[in-house]
Amino acid sequence: MSDYKDAFRKGLTAYGQYAAAEKEVRLVLARASEELSAATDGALQLQWATLTRDARPPTLMETVTRSPPPQESYRAITAKVGAKVVELARLDLDDRTGWPATLAYAREHEICSDATALERALIEMLGTQRAGRLLSSIGAALLPDEPAPTQAQEGPGVDGSAEVEKKD
Amino acid sequence: MWGGPFVDTGASAQYAPAGGADTDGGARELWTGAPFASPERWRSCRVWPDLLVPTQETGRFRFAWWNTSFNRSRPKGNGTGPKATKAIADHKERTELAENVIRELLQTADCVALGEVEADEHLGLEQALGGAALSWYRDDSRGLSLAINTSVATLVSDLRHRTREGTRNFHTAWQASLWLIHAPAQLDLYVVHWPSDVGAPAGAHRRTLGQNLRHIVADCPAPPSGTRGHQIVLGDFNEEPFDEGLAQGLLAGRDRYRVRSADPPGAFLYNPCWRMLGEQRPWPTTAPIAPAGSAYHPGSGSSRWRTIDQVVLSGGLLGDDGWVLDEKALQYVEHKDIFDPAAGTLVNRFDHLPLIGSLVHLKQGP
């Protein structure tokens, strides 16, 4: 009997941790969205959406019959300007405890242990030329009084990647 | 008579030694004789007698890792005085020595991963050593370079895995997904250079990196055939096989059986570098002094040597056929430009030995 009760308690604790982590992530994204919205006269918004994609490449039979392969859902940060939406990066939480969150885009796969880490990873992601291209493609533009981004603001590393701690 | 359906007798399993006795790293012959000829041959079998089948090698993929330790001599700043001039000349000389080492690695290995290589050094190596069959790649965020012999393997894609903790940012691994050409299969190579304890202890961070890399490797999709994936993690872990990041974080151990029989498959990884801890030749010996590890730091504690340059493999590479680890081929390279066997020390300010290893593709059947 006590095993079931302990398991239930454990489940509730895990759920509490997950919900708290999810709230923190939403808060980080809300802050980012708010700042970007203000910088674009309310045009640009960030969202955390659940999207679907093919779970695997189509089989020969599926190709012949034009039926889609099985779908899987995932969560991603999307940018929205009017009706135009573009996917910026995948953002998933750890299934069990929420943190760490994983931010994945292009060749980058970032495991973020906490809200500060996620904030840093998001800032770096938005500073890449890839994000600039995607946001431009949906018509996102900074207000005229905002200084235009320069190379120096894109981050210290190549492709906008931050400097990794190097202790050899 | 036998303890079970699987009899693992160690690294020489696929081969029957030419003279019945095991050889150590020398030329080996494929199984050609009658399977039940002698007890020695019994012991070289991995399967029940009635399932005993010879194997033949149908492909080979050699890999290497070397921390070039360029950081130790790379000139800092743009000074022009005599000190700066000497530093530049010193680094140039070490670069030339390193080129000799890498040239030999490239002659032996199909894929060479290098650490502590900055962008200009990468370019220099590519210009000095890049042949028509070589492709060079780079992860700038941690100074890693990769040279691949494109007649043996091609790079399908690559990913940079990082771990962030608060404002800190660590390089977890550089994942290079390769396609092996001769016996077609995907191989995921993870090149690592984890933080050292210089300045401040980094054991806790390495443990986190190990845990995160464990999940990354476990989530790596298996080949379409449904077999276990082929994954290799190699590089400078800045810790020994028994330290926390590798043993408790990455769950890389010394027990082949545990790795092969893990449930779920892939729960553990195999670290063959457990066999490379300590002195390699029993005392007393008159043989030249061999390195007792991969990294040489004369000022550190009770041992000048540490085994921190390692390779770790998934259970899918410990099978009886297909792509498997050829454990006998795994060794630290004692190149004359970096190792002095008379003194038993590293020279020319290099502090790491290259590690070279091999996968072999085996096919069962007559």
What ipTM does the predicted assembly reach?
Answer: 0.84
How confident is residue B15, by pLDDT bands cut at 50, 70 and 90?
very low
Tens of pLDDT, residue by residue over A21-70, are: 999 999 999 999 999 999 999 999 999 999 999 988 889 999 999 999 99
Q: Mind telling me how many Å the CA of A167 is from chain B's nearest CA? A: 5
Is B248's pLDDT higher than 70?
yes
Structure token digits, residue A34: 């708010």
Helix, strand, coil content of chain B in percent (nearest 5): 25, 30, 45
The CA-based diameter of chain A, rounded to the nearest angstrom, is: 67
Q: In terms of pLDDT, which residue wins out, B148 or B23? A: B148
| Shortest Cα distance, chain B CAs vs residue A115, angstroms | 7
- Phi, psi at A137, each rounded to 5°: -65, -20
Q: Is the pLDDT of residue A159 over 50?
A: no
| Better-predicted residue by pLDDT, B28 or B302 | B302
Three-state DSSP state, B339: strand
Domain ranges (residues) in chain A: 2-160
Q: Which tokens in the block code for residue B88?
A: 């530049």
What is the interface size between A and B, counted as CB pairs within 8 Å?
Answer: 88
Distance CA B145, CA B122 (A): 7
Question: How are beta strands B168-180 and A84-94 bridged, if at all?
Answer: unpaired
Domains belonging to chain B, first-starting first, are: 1-52 (no CATH), 56-364 (3.60.10.10)
Is the model more confident about A143 or about B143?
B143
| Closest CA in chain B for residue A55 | B221
Task: Please tell me which residue of chain A has the smallest CA distance to B351.
Answer: A168
pLDDT over 90 (residue B235):
yes
pLDDT band at B101 (very low <50, low <70, confident <90, very high): very high
Peptide bond into B39 cis (omega under 30): no
Q: Do the bridges between strand B295-296 and strand B322-325 make them parallel or antiparallel, or are there none, so unpaired? A: unpaired
Check A163 against B196: CB less than 8 A apart. no
Residue range A7-17, pLDDT digits in tens = 999 999 999 99
pLDDT reported for residue B11: 36
Both structure tokens of B217 = 């490797």
- Give me chain A's average pLDDT, please: 89
CB-based contact B261:B319 (threshold 8 Å): no
Judge whether residue B323 has pLDDT over 60.
Answer: yes
Query: What average pLDDT score do residues B17-27 get?
Result: 36
Q: How confident is the model at residue B57 (pLDDT cuts 50, 70, 90)?
A: confident
Is 70 exceeded by the pLDDT of residue B352? yes
Closest Cα in chain A, distance from residue B163 (Å): 5
pLDDT at B127: 94
Contact assignment for A165 to B168 by CB distance below 8 Å: yes
Whose tokens are 């404002």? That residue is: B167
Are B271 and B315 in contact by the 8 Å Cβ rule? The answer is no
Q: What's the mean pLDDT in B294-301?
A: 89
The answer, yes or no, to whether residue A137 has pLDDT greater than 70, is yes
User: How much is the pLDDT for B119?
Assistant: 95
At residue B348, the pLDDT reads 92
Q: What pLDDT does residue A160 have? A: 38
- Closest approach of A117 to chain B, Cα-based (Å): 4
Minimum mean pLDDT among A77-91, A146-160, B298-312: which range? A146-160
pLDDT of residue B52: 56
Cβ atoms of B168 and B157 within 8 Å: the answer is no
CA gap B255, B262 in Å, rounded:
11
Three-class SS state of B337: coil
pLDDT band at B223 (very low <50, low <70, confident <90, very high): low
B48: helix, strand or coil = coil
Q: What mean pLDDT is predicted for residues A114-143?
A: 95
Q: Are B360 and B124 in contact (CB under 8 A)?
A: no
**Would you call A118 an interface residue with chain B, using a CB distance cutoff of 8 Å?**
yes
Mean pLDDT of B232-237: 98
Residue whose tokens read 């693992």: B8
Query: Quick one: tokens of B171?
Result: 């390089």
Determine whether the interchain pair A121/B202 forms a contact, defined as Cβ–Cβ distance below 8 Å: no
pLDDT value of residue A120: 97
pLDDT value of residue B75: 87
Place of tokens 């929420």: A98
**pLDDT score, position B6:** 35
**Per-residue pLDDT at B228 exceeds 60:** no
In the predicted structure, residue B40 carries a pLDDT above the cut 90? no
Looking at residue B289, what is its pLDDT? 86
Which A residues 92-111 touch B at CB under 8 Å?
100, 107-111
Of residues B141, B162, B196, nearest to A168 (C-beta): B196
Listed range (A20-34, A67-81, B31-45, B91-105) with the worst mean pLDDT = B31-45
Give the pLDDT confidence score for residue B77 in this predicted structure: 76
Token pair of B295 as six digits: 């990294």
Candidates B157, B181, B180, B161; CA nearest to B171 is: B161
- pLDDT at position A57: 86
Q: What is the pLDDT of residue B285?
A: 85
Q: Residue A105 pLDDT more than 80?
A: yes
Please tell me the predicted confidence (pLDDT) of residue A155.
Answer: 41
- pLDDT band for position B24 (cuts 50, 70, 90): very low
Q: What angle do CA A8, A9, A14 make, to 5 degrees?
A: 95
Q: How confident is the model at residue A165 (pLDDT cuts 50, 70, 90)?
A: confident
Confidence at B34, pLDDT banded by 50, 70, 90: very low
Distance CA B55, CA A47 (A): 56
Distance CA B217, CA B207 (A): 15
For residue B185, pLDDT over 60 is answered with yes
pLDDT(B14) > 70: no
Closest CA to A107 of B156, B167, B149: B156
Contact B165, B205 (CB under 8 A): yes
Q: Which residue has the higher pLDDT, A78 or B84?
A: A78
Q: For the residues B47-74, what does the mean pLDDT come to?
A: 81
Residues B36 and B20 sit within 8 Å (Cβ to Cβ): no
8 Å CB contact between B122 and B138: yes
Section B95-112 average pLDDT: 96
